[in-house]
Each structure stands twice: as structure tokens, then as C-alpha cells.
Structure 1
């Protein structure tokens, strides 16, 4: 007889956790503006970067988090009140390696 499938509740975000964040067009414009005279790799809407949860505002019904996005360059981007999801402008848990 096989073992039953066990579903665990989704983990809640907490300060210091690493998540993935997908950039929006507005994020890209902000990054390009702050990089005016800085050499760094190009960004595009939909690009996914690691982000550190710096504040959790609400846990129910959907956790809202402030994040520091770790860009591929000498800079970061601060975004506020972002929720879990799969589209640009949202954060997601990194997939487990296999």
C-alpha cells in the first residue's frame, strides 16, 4: 500500500527570507533612471531576481511584503506591498532543487 500524499500549508514570508521577484515595466523604468551613470546589466519586464523580505505588512488574506531586489549590478531596488503570485510585480518562493 502506498503512503498517502501529504499537503503542507504554504510557508508564510518572514523578514530575511529570500524570494523571487518578477520585474514590472515600472520597475524597469525606475532601475534605468537610478542607473543613469552606472555600468550594470540590462533589465526587462518579467526578469526574475532574488529579493530579501524586509517587512511583512499583512498575513491574511494574502501576505504583503516590502522587498529589496538584488539586481545584477551594484544596486538594489526597493518595492513595497507586493503579494505572492506568478506575474510581474509579485514574489514567489524559489523552486526546490532536485
Structure 2
């Protein structure tokens, strides 16, 4: 996994890509918002509080950055 161009900091909102098996619990949403709670090293690895489109908000730890949006990774929200 690569490092993000902009390093995340605690409190920033990012997008988390859930694993396929949890997409149904997320109301079939393929990426969900998360708040960064801890940053490791150069920022490619973070802990986060994930907010789902349902009742299953959760914590994820040691989540890698990925521009490719692989399941179980985080990325910056797209700009419109």
C-alpha cells in the first residue's frame, strides 16, 4: 500500500471501504465515512471510527491507505 499524498491527522474524515461480507449490513453502501482516531508513521496506517448507513458503527484499527479502494482500506473523499 502506498502513502497518501496528504497525511491524515486525528479528527479528519476519510472514506472506508468495507469488506464484501459487511456491505449488506451497511445497507449496500460500498464506502462509508470514518473519523481518524490515530495515525501511524507516514500516515498510510490509521485507526478509525467507522459510521455505517445502519446500526453497526464500528472501530477499525491499522487500516491501510489505498487509492484503488480495495476492501478494508481507507481513502480521501472525492471532490466534486
- TM-score normalised over the length of structure 1: 0.64
Q: Which has the larger radius of gyration?
A: 1
The corresponding residue for 1:81 is 62
Number of aligned residue pairs: 75
TM-score if structure 2 supplies the norm length?
Answer: 0.77
Q: Distance in 2 between matches of 1:69 and 1:48?
A: 10
Aligned to 1:68: 49
* Two-structure CA RMSD over aligned residues (Å): 2.5
Query: Unpaired runs of 5+ in structure 2?
Result: none
Which 4+ residue blocks in structure 1 deviate beyond 2 angstroms? 41-44
Could you tell me which runs of 5 or more consecutive residues in structure 1 were left unpaired when the two chains were aligned: 1-8, 33-40
Question: Structure with the greater relative contact order (CA < 8 A, sep ≥ 6): 1 or 2?
Answer: 2
